[in-house]
Structure 1
Amino acid sequence: MPGPSSPAAPRDPGLQPERTRLAWRRTTLACAVATSLAARQALRAGTGPVPLLCVALAALAWLCFLGVAARRIRAVSVPRPPALSPRAAAAAAGCTLALAAFGAALTR
Structure 2
Amino acid sequence: MSTSSPGGAVRDPGLQPERTRLAWRRTTLSATVVAVLAAKQAVRDGATGAGLLGAALSALVWIGFLMVAQGRMRELGEARPVGLGVGRAWVVVGCGVALAGFGVAVVW
Contact 2:34 2:102 in 1 (8 A): no
- Partner of 1:45 in structure 2? 45
Q: In the TM superposition, what are the counterparts of 1:1-108 in structure 2 within 5 Å?
A: 7-108=7-108
**Corresponding residue pairs, total:** 104
* Displacement of 1:58: 0.2
Q: What is the SS of the residue equivalent to 1:32? A: helix
Structure 2: tracts of 5 or more residues without a match: none
Contact 2:37 2:106 in 1 (8 A): no
C-alpha distance after superposition, 1:26-45 (max 9, x if no partner): 11011001111111111122
TM-score by length of 2: 0.88
TM-score by length of 1: 0.88
Structure 1: tracts of 5 or more residues without a match: none
AA of the residue aligned to 1:10: V
Q: Which moved more, 1:34-43 or 1:12-21?
A: 34-43
* Displacement of 1:67: 0.2
Q: Once the two structures are aligned, what percentage of the paired residues are identical?
A: 52
> Larger Cα Rg: Structure 1 or Structure 2?
1
* Displacement of 1:103: 2.7
* Displacement of 1:21: 0.6
Aligned-CA RMSD value: 1.7
Distance across 1 between alignment mates of 2:107 and 2:8:
56
